[in-house]
Structure 1
């Protein structure tokens, strides 16, 4: 297929573009004015300029949106423009859209990502697909492990926000990229797909990154430094991808984030 990937220079998008190319698809990249080279055919467009997106997305067999959220106004205007182009759209949200929920929950997003439930609704109503990844790790990156590694280096111990016991779904970026290929090739229109290989306690993750010790970072202090996004770190989420595995044949190869991060800790400077 001829596939446009939005966010191809990002952590998810770069892995997805490579996996699609390896699977034999013809990958194009959205490139904003002044954006860096991608190594793929490029199409001009800018998520910060929704009016540019309808023209950019026209004529593709699939459009895969892995770009970072820019806020309610731009994200909603952007998804409307992409859908107006008429090319089938695969949109990335995340487990946070479920709030403190499970795989059976209806969207109940934290206020910091509240509008993403409406983004999902619009995409599905148009026959598109939604992918909800868990916390990302692998290839030396992932914003959460990287931030926690930096905190561990700063404080001399692992750090988790709030009380211990909070669980998060997680996924290696290479496994997630394989999921996008499966959605491009096999998923029924109008569907949501969870992308997580396991669930991990954040205090266990902090302890691994802290060399065996961990301490609580009070939510109030974390919020003062990180802003409202700190509230995401206290959402307890028991979310799996059983349906994704069963219906799409998705089989993640990386099944222990703790073992991976112990062997290959992310660089705090990344």
Structure 2
């Protein structure tokens, strides 16, 4: 019997590269959605023409696969909803990547009803359509590690420019977080054993945003006033800097058997910074994690 074939949308992206490699190592035949003029697909994988900005193209692209994993970029309400409808129409088993921000603020778990932040206000509809059709959803929080993600791409440039790490408002906001290397094992577990129409939280810990700011600022932080425009690097996700969440993944760990290896984002990132030659002293970092 031939190995199962998986189409990974976003296979050339930050998370997609890791998930693609994980499925290839697990014996899957990996294919990547190849957008015109997009980042080239790894030559080890089969390239499949298609474009999230052209939802009808996704029907033919996704048809016939043993599994489709959507790790592509969030675009807008019209395209994202049309895109999930097209993938459902294709008829292949599907794992949709959402995010913990769809759950809203407060203490939340896998069984809570979504109350999405306005920045991603349509993502709960994307989830509902996928779940109603018997597909599965994974919700990561802040994804970090391997020199990528929001910390490296947004927080570090601001700290370098201003000479201090920046958080917004009071030093009390927590985000659910997960190391990018802990995601491939969860996607494999969900692909192998999750029931149709189920949702899973990919959260290894809840980290204080001001502690991340202290890390990237080498102990120096700025509390950015709520009534002032955020630094330009933060603009794409400005509202999320005040979205306080404590996200549980207890159900995911118990039922999927997921056991993330990275459970201290600040320590993990400090090791990365040390490799890059950035001086970080853990004793300079403020705050605690839960």
Q: What range describes the TM-score normalised by the shorter chain of this pair?
A: over 0.9
RMSD of equivalent CA atoms: 1.5
Other-structure match for 2:288? none
Q: Does residue 243 of the first structure (1) align with residue 246 of the second (2)?
A: no
Give the direction of change, closer, same or farther, for the CA distance of 1:180–1:99 in structure 2 (3 Å limit).
same
Other-structure match for 1:217? 224
Q: Does residue 56 of the first structure (1) align with residue 58 of the second (2)?
A: no
Other-structure match for 1:27? 30
Shift in Å, 1:37: 2.4
Give the direction of change, closer, same or farther, for the CA distance of 1:185–1:114 in structure 2 (3 Å limit).
same
Shift in Å, 1:231: 0.9
Other-structure match for 1:88? 93
Matched residues in 2 for 1:8 and 1:139: separation? 16
Q: Does residue 113 of the first structure (1) align with residue 113 of the second (2)?
A: no
Other-structure match for 2:48? 43
Q: Which runs of 4+ in 1 moved over 4 A?
A: none
Shift in Å, 1:228: 6.6
Shift in Å, 1:255: 1.1
Decide whether the 8 Å contact of 1:219 with 1:230 is kept in 2.
Answer: no
Q: Secondary structure at the match of 2:20?
A: helix
Q: What are the equivalent positions in structure 2 for 1:179-258 lying under 5 Å apart?
A: 179-223=186-230, 225=232, 226-227=234-235, 229-258=237-266
Decide whether the 8 Å contact of 1:30 with 1:56 is kept in 2.
Answer: yes
Other-structure match for 2:139? 132
TM-score, structure 2 as length reference: 0.88
Give the direction of change, closer, same or farther, for the CA distance of 1:177–1:222 in structure 2 (3 Å limit).
farther
Q: Secondary structure at the match of 1:76?
A: helix
Q: Deviations over 1:56-98 (max 9, x none)?
A: 0000111000001110000001110010000011001101101
Decide whether the 8 Å contact of 1:166 with 1:201 is kept in 2.
Answer: yes
Shift in Å, 1:32: 1.2
Decide whether the 8 Å contact of 1:169 with 1:198 is kept in 2.
Answer: yes
TM-score, structure 1 as length reference: 0.95
Q: Gaps spanning 5+ residues in structure 2: where?
A: 277-290
